[in-house]
Amino acid sequence: MSTAKPTTLNVAAGERHHAHHYDNAEHEYQSSKQGVWLFLCTEILMFGGLFVAYAIFHQMFPETFKVGSKFTDVKYGAVNTVVLLFSSLTMALGIYYVQVREQKKAVIAMAVTILCGFGFMAIKYLEYSHKIHLGLLPGDWYNGNLQAMAAELGGLTVPANIGLYFSFYFMMTGLHGIHVLIGMGAIGWVMVRTMKGQFGPGYYTPVEGVGLFWHLVDLVWIYLFPLLYLV
């Protein structure tokens, strides 16, 4: 049973032998997916540390966060939210088309997902360069002069520890941005494998796993958007 794989196996059509330590292909699929969910659980706890830190400092210095969020552009944040939600849709469609053996449509859906990732990072770049230009940097590196701008925004007084807000802004969006980049790379990987015809209704575990990761990145942004832009 373990010798000589049958030559009838059509890898190009997504057929595949399951690894020997699994009972069957379904067992392999479910176990792999469970592993991805465990990984996502650790991801939630990693981002969770930042979210709890945010909650604590927001509780201690509400004014700092209120004023800080005035210097983020809601338009950029809202557009990026839509871009990420749309990319989540196209990723889900990519998996759907693999499930129904429509390879070409699956590849297009994944390509659109990656393009959305580029779009998201491009908008992030615009935001970051604007903030860096104004000296709105995290913690001790903060050297902005917001008093003039604050006056235009309706006589806001800028708290002395405003660098605290930009620390959270850069660390939370930065860690999230790294996840977007890793997700784009992973989607590129499953897209190339889909083009090679290695996935089909009988085997698409890596596509499902990468999809789950991408949706988690979207999930984190769903919370980051109101926390950083709309406080």
Partner 1 sequence: MSAKAVSNDGGHTSHGNDEHHIIPLATYYKIFGILIVLTVVTVAVTFVDFGAFNAVVAFAIASVKAALVLGYFMHLKYDNLMNRVIIGSGVFFLIVLWIFCILDIVTRVSNESPL
The DSSP 8-state label assigned to residue 18 in this structure reads P
3-state DSSP helix/strand/coil % of the chain, to nearest 5: 75, 0, 25
Which residue, 136, 156, 8, 115, is CA-closest to 72? 136
Kindly determine how many residues on this chain lie close enough to bind partner 1 according to the rule CB under 8 A: 56
Tokens representing 154?
A: 């309706």
- Near partner 1 by CB under 8 A, which window of 51-59, 133-141, 145-153, 172-180? 51-59
Which C-beta is closer to partner 1: that of 100 or that of 192? 100
Q: Which of 61, 76, 92, 137 binds partner 1 (CB under 8 A)?
A: 92
Provide the minimum distance between the beta carbon of 32 and partner 1 in the complex, in angstroms, as a whole number: 12
Considering only residues 200 to 219 of the shown chain, the ones binding partner 1 according to CB under 8 A are: 201-202, 208, 211-212, 215-216, 218-219
Provide the minimum distance between the beta carbon of 181 and partner 1 in the complex, in angstroms, as a whole number: 20
Provide the minimum distance between the beta carbon of 133 and partner 1 in the complex, in angstroms, as a whole number: 26
Alpha-carbon gap, residue 159 to 156, rounded angstroms: 9
Which C-beta is closer to partner 1: that of 141 or that of 225? 225
- Side chain identity at residue 83, one-letter code: V
Contact 218, 87 (CB under 8 A): yes
Give the DSSP per-residue string, 210-223.
HHHHHHHHHHHHHH
Q: Which of 56, 132, 153, 178 binds partner 1 (CB under 8 A)?
A: 56
When asked if residue 178 is in the footprint of partner 1 (CB under 8 A), the reply is no
Which residue, 227, 224, 213, 228, is CA-closest to 43? 213
Alpha-carbon gap, residue 38 to 32, rounded angstroms: 10
Binding site for partner 1 (CB under 8 A): 24-26, 29-30, 33-34, 37-38, 40-42, 44-45, 48-49, 51-52, 55-56, 59-60, 74, 78, 81-82, 85-86, 88-89, 91-93, 96, 99-104, 201-202, 208, 211-212, 215-216, 218-219, 222-223, 225-227, 230-231
